[in-house]
Amino acid sequence: MGGGGVVVVEEEEEEEVEVARGGAGKEKRKRKKKYGVLMCAEEEPEYVREAHGGYFKMFVRLLGDEGETWHLFRAARGELPTAADAAAFDGFVVTGSCSDAHGPDPWIAHLAHLLQTLAAARTTILLGFCFGHQILSRALGGKTGRAVNGWDIGVTCIHPSNSTLKLLSSLHIPSHLPVIECHRDEVWELPPNAEVMARSEKTGIEMFRYGDHVMGIQGHPEYTKDILLHLIDRLLQRNLIQMSHAEDAKASLEVREPDREAWQRLCKSFLKGKLPQLKPLPIEDE
């Protein structure tokens, strides 16, 4: 059981329901909101498990509410729900990964196909972070690849567009929105009908939305500073970044704080379908 009455399910099992009393003494069955985390990380650092309980529980703490069930699917191991089973979920979170969203791995292709199917049905909300942001773009017809400006590691200040700030006015989202980032890939080109929501100095597409049911975020609102410091050291040890990158990233942690509360408001509101001002995609003629 997660905090706040959130039921955490690490493996798929029968859907749980709440039983509440209806009028005239009748019982009515109320389905619990059901969300899934499509875990795209091939491995989970021991530090993250010991200090934070693992990435899955971090996402539940960030996005979960009382009375919900949250299910884990290890997508990078080929563990995905069928399209029919996935359609019973209210929403999915697509996580980060060390893999490339533009890569040829079979599990990535299978994930992209599932996301494409769910997006076309328009009944399940999809929210992606980092790799998840990129694979959503790919699944919907966009293009991804190596970031033009190289690695972006540290606390990055992104700038929502004026139209985004207007759409999210009820959430009081600031015009400068710091978030932890750790990526060397990016979305090059948006899918048809998608809209850029935010940019940064190094990345042209920090956020995008596709109608009212798909959103991608390049950053990591779920990360904390200690996790980023651990990842910086891992990247250095594996010779994936230069010392100058590590120093710049650590320096950014001293300059600004990630606005976790604002990101939580934004992400939870979108995932729970509480942004009615977002317009759905127009229905195309058959």
- For residue 81, give the DSSP letter: -
Residues 6+ apart with CB under 8 A from 49: none
Query: What local confidence, expressed as pLDDT, does residue 205 receive?
Result: 97
pTM for this entry = 0.88
User: Cβ distance 77 to 37 under 8 Å?
Assistant: no
Question: Tell me, what's the pLDDT at 26?
Answer: 43
- The span from the CA of 157 to the CA of 199, in Å, is 9
130 is catalytic: yes
Name residue 125's beta-bridge partners: 91
| In contact, 264 and 220? CB cutoff 8 Å | no
Q: Which of 40, 130, 182, 267 is catalytic?
A: 130
pLDDT value, residue 116: 97
Residue identified by tokens 């940019």 is: 199
Domains of the chain from N-terminus onward: 3-14+26-148+184-221+262-271 (3.40.50.880)
- Residues 208 and 199: their CA atoms lie apart, in Å, by 10
pLDDT at position 247: 94
Q: Which residues contact 106 (CB under 8 A, 6 or more apart)?
A: 78
CA-CA-CA-CA torsion sign (232, 238, 243, 244): negative
Establish whether 222 is a catalytic residue. yes
Choosing from 181, 186, 206, 222, which is the catalytic residue? 222
110 is catalytic: no
Catalytic option among 133, 220, 245, 267: 220
Q: What is the mean pLDDT of each run of 10 residues along the chain (286 residues)?
A: 57 38 46 94 90 96 95 96 96 96 95 97 96 97 94 94 92 94 95 95 96 96 95 93 92 92 96 81 52
Q: How many CB atoms lie within 10 A of CB 280?
A: 10
